[in-house]
Amino acid sequence: MTWSSPGPPLPRTSTLTDVVPIVEEGGVLVLSGAGLSTESGIPDYRGEGGSLRKHTPMTYEEFTTSEEGRQRYWARSHVGWRTIARAHPNAGHHAVTRLSAKLCGVITQNVDGLHQAAGTRDVVELHGGLDRVICLDCRSLSPRAELDRRLREANPDFHATTDEINPDGDVFLPEELVRDFRLVGCRECGGVLKPDVVFFGENVPRPRVEQCYSLVDRAKSLLVLGSSLTVMSGLRFVRRAAGAGTPVVIINRGETRGDPFASLRVDLPLGASLTRLADVVLPPR
């Protein structure tokens, strides 16, 4: 879950000058991470204000083997979902949508749905989406809004609030608020419900990985936005592109694990810089 640079930081630039011709050529594949959503009020895990220092994300093993773990997760996520559901796309998301004509696809490591809310189509959600719930027994999908209503009905006296939201929709709550939280089962079969997201320790479904590899292989360039690339689920696509000689451009605040594979490394705030990039690349109307 964490990564430390093995050596001194690689050279970085704070200008978009060399990014513009790459995007103008088209065929750009975007790979976005939690850093793109921080301006929407959702903190990332590993940036300057990252929540990983204070929060241990739910693991797949704990969720599937511990009813107490599931109770703790759903109580906390029930509160966190309200913040995720209220979040709005920021300037960075809207800039990606504006650049759609220059893109061959968008892969996001985020589970907040903000790319789609900004109007970007055909987004591959590498780690799934918090707006859906899946039954681990019958595999049926249902809307998160429906589960939210059912949990409120099952817990009428539960009124916890917090501002400490995490990228996975989890929050911190005192144990006394969690221990009496009542879970609900699948409407179809009564089975265990899980958010349709990939937990730490869980594998991304292979067909989804292959879909992403196919996009990488077709791309003329890979543009990484707001990801530290600490985990292999995203880093593998950077390595694949670099191995094929495809230019890799990383725009992120701070070092990333993908820096050694980058053709160009830009250190700029994402909202403002992507807006400027779209302004320069797109012809005036």
* 109 belongs to an annotated ligand binding site: yes
What pLDDT is attached to residue 53? Answer: 44
Q: How much is the pLDDT for 57?
A: 82
pLDDT tens digits, residue range 178-224? 889 999 999 999 999 999 999 999 999 999 999 999 999 999 999 99
Residue 67 known to bind ligand: no
Average pLDDT over residues 158-174: 77
Higher pLDDT, 10 or 211: 211
Write down the H helix ranges in the chain.
Answer: 19-24, 60-65, 67-86, 91-98, 114-117, 144-154, 175-178, 206-218, 232-243, 270-281
Q: What is the mean pLDDT of residues 141-156?
A: 97
- Count other C-beta atoms under 10 Å from residue 284's C-beta: 4
What residue ranges do the domains of the chain occupy?
19-281
Identify the band that residue 55 occupies on the pLDDT scale cut at 50, 70 and 90: low
Confidence of residue 49 (pLDDT cuts 50, 70, 90): very low
Q: Distance between CA 55 and CA 163 in Å, rounded? A: 14
What digits encode the pLDDT tens for the residues 220-253? 999 999 999 999 999 999 999 999 999 999 999 9
Q: Provide the angle, in degrees to the nearest 10, between the axes of the packed helices 144-154 and 67-86.
A: 120
155/13 Cα distance (integer angstroms): 51
Query: How confident is the prediction for the chain on average, in pLDDT?
Result: 91
pLDDT band at 9 (very low <50, low <70, confident <90, very high): low
Architecture field, domain 19-281: 3-Layer(aba) Sandwich (3.40)
Report pLDDT for 177: 84
pLDDT of residue 10: 66
Does 61 count as an annotated binding residue? no
Per-residue pLDDT of 69-94, as tens digits, reads 999 999 999 999 988 899 999 999 99
pLDDT of residue 7: 56
Question: Binding residue per annotation — 52?
Answer: yes
The answer to whether the annotation marks 35 as part of a ligand binding site is yes
pLDDT bucket at 52, cuts 50 / 70 / 90: very low
Taking the complete model, does pTM exceed 0.85, yes or no? Answer: yes
Q: How far is Cα 3 from Cα 229, in angstroms, rounded to an integer?
A: 9
pLDDT digits (tens, 9 = 90+) for 259-284: 999 999 999 999 999 999 999 999 77
Q: Report the share of the chain in percent with pLDDT over 90.
A: 77
For residue range 20-41, what is the model confidence (pLDDT) as tens digits? Answer: 999 999 999 999 999 999 999 8
> Is there a binding annotation on residue 34?
yes
Structure tokens at 218: 């077709």
43 is in an annotated binding site: yes
Catalytic residue list: 127
pLDDT (tens digit, 9 = 90+) per residue, 94-128?
Answer: 999 999 999 999 999 999 999 999 999 999 999 99
Across the range 134-156, mean pLDDT stands at 97
